[in-house]
């Protein structure tokens, strides 16, 4: 079995390819980050979602942005790949932080062109309806992981997405979510417009029976 990997559990889902900035302040995690820097190692952020350590993402430190006088740090990291935590010890022997044995999850890029176009069209529709410019170019090169945080998935839904090894399954899951969410947003927008009209004189075209 490979060497034990440091674990940094958080109540978030980190996706492969995601850039994540962290403020490190607890003594155990200051030790973890310093060990990773000294040994040029990666660490795993398990998503503590169902009150257990099971799935997460292996990340690497890109840069230590700032070190404070008391040892706190601001660091930038990037997600590498989804992993399953097979076994863990808290704390790892001789350390303040937890460590575990992991298995890298396969990532099968099997999404069809039809799935990609349908998902991207729905994402564009969502962005239009919420009137938010997220500064992301939506095209067929964008991965499901890149937009997963931006479509209103719950933490448990993001966790389920992380567990999927087939990109086609991730596309279907996100398409299904957006097909349910967008009509609700449309109803909310229509309700908002009706509320704005309360108290105003409105012109109605007569119905032609």
pLDDT at 206 exceeding the cut of 90: no
The reply to whether 9 and 98 lie within a common domain is yes
* C-alpha torsion sign, points 145, 155, 125, 127: negative
Cβ atoms of residues 52 and 197 within 8 Å: no
Is the predicted pLDDT of residue 143 greater than 50, yes or no?
yes
Indicate if 95 and 123 belong to the same structural domain. Answer: no
Instruction: Confirm whether 203 is domain-assigned.
Output: no
pLDDT at 176 over 70: yes
CATH of the domain at 47: 2.30.130.40
- Closest residue by Cα to residue 157 from 20, 50, 45, 21: 50
pLDDT at 134 over 70: no
DSSP the chain: -PPPEEE--BSS-PPTT-EEEEEE-SHHHHHHHHHHHHHT--EEEEB--SSS--EEEEEEEEEEEEE-TTS-EEEEEEEEEEEEEEEEESSPTTSSSEEEEEEEPP-B----HHHHHHHHHHHHHHHHHHT-------STTS-HHHHGGGTT--HHHHHHHHH--BHHHHHHHHHHHHHHHHHHHHHHHHHHHHHHHTTS----PPP--
Q: List all residues 6 or more positions away from 181 whose beta carbon is below 8 Å from its beta carbon.
A: 126, 151, 152
In this predicted structure, what is the pLDDT of residue 184? 85
pLDDT tens, residue by residue, 61-96:
999 999 999 999 999 999 999 999 999 999 999 999
Q: Does residue 205 sit within a domain? A: no
> Is residue 159 one of the residues assigned to a domain?
yes
129 and 153, same domain (yes or no): yes
Instruction: Show Cβ contacts of residue 127 under 8 Å, excluding neighbours closer than 6 positions.
Output: 133, 134, 138
pLDDT of 124 > 50? The answer is: yes
Instruction: Answer yes or no: is pLDDT of 58 > 50.
Output: yes
Q: Answer whether residue 205 shows pLDDT above 90.
A: no
Task: Decide which of 104, 130, 162 is a domain's last residue.
Answer: 104
Asked if residue 143 lies in contact with residue 162, where contact means CB atoms within 8 angstroms, the answer is no
How far, in Å, CA of 101 to CA of 87, rounded? 5
Q: Is residue 150 part of a domain?
A: yes
For residue 204, name the pLDDT band (cuts at 50, 70, 90).
very low
Q: Are residues 38 and 84 in the same domain?
A: yes
Q: Do 53 and 81 belong to one domain?
A: yes
Q: Let me know if residue 182 belongs to a domain.
A: yes
Question: At residue 2, does pLDDT exceed 80?
Answer: no
The pLDDT score that the predictor gives to residue 209 is 41
Averaged pLDDT for residues 187-200: 59
Are 71 and 157 in a shared domain? no
Answer whether 44's CB lies under 8 Å from 20's CB.
no
**In this predicted model, which residue has the larger pLDDT, 146 or 201?**
146
Residue 201 has pLDDT above 80, yes or no: no
Domain count, the chain: 2
**Mind giving me the DSSP string for 149-179?**
GGTT--HHHHHHHHH--BHHHHHHHHHHHHH
pLDDT reading at 100 higher than 50:
yes
Residue 144 structural domain: 113-197
Label residue 43 by pLDDT band (50, 70, 90): very high
Q: Are residues 99 and 135 in the same domain?
A: no
């Amino acid at each position: 079995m490979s060497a034990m990997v440091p674990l940094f559990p958080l109540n978030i889902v980190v996706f492969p390819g995601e850039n994540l900035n962290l403020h490190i302040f607890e003594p155990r995690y200051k030790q973890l980050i310093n060990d990773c820097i000294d040994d040029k190692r990666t660490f795993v952020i398990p998503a503590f979602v169902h009150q257990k350590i099971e799935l997460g993402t292996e990340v690497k430190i890109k840069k230590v942005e700032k070190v404070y006088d008391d040892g706190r740090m601001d660091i930038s990291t990037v997600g590498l790949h989804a992993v399953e935590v097979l076994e863990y010890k808290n704390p790892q022997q001789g350390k303040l932080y937890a460590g575990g044995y992991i298995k890298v999850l396969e990532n099968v890029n099997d999404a069809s062109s039809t799935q990609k176009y349908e998902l991207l069209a729905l994402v564009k529709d969502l962005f239009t309806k919420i009137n938010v410019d997220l500064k992301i170019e939506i095209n067929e090169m964008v991965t499901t992981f890149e937009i997963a945080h931006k479509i209103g998935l719950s933490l448990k839904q993001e966790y389920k997405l992380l567990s999927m090894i087939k990109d086609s399954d991730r596309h279907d899951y996100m398409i299904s979510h957006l097909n349910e969410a967008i009509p609700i947003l449309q109803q909310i927008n229509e309700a908002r417009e009706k509320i704005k009209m309360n108290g105003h004189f409105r012109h109605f075209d007569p119905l032609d029976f």
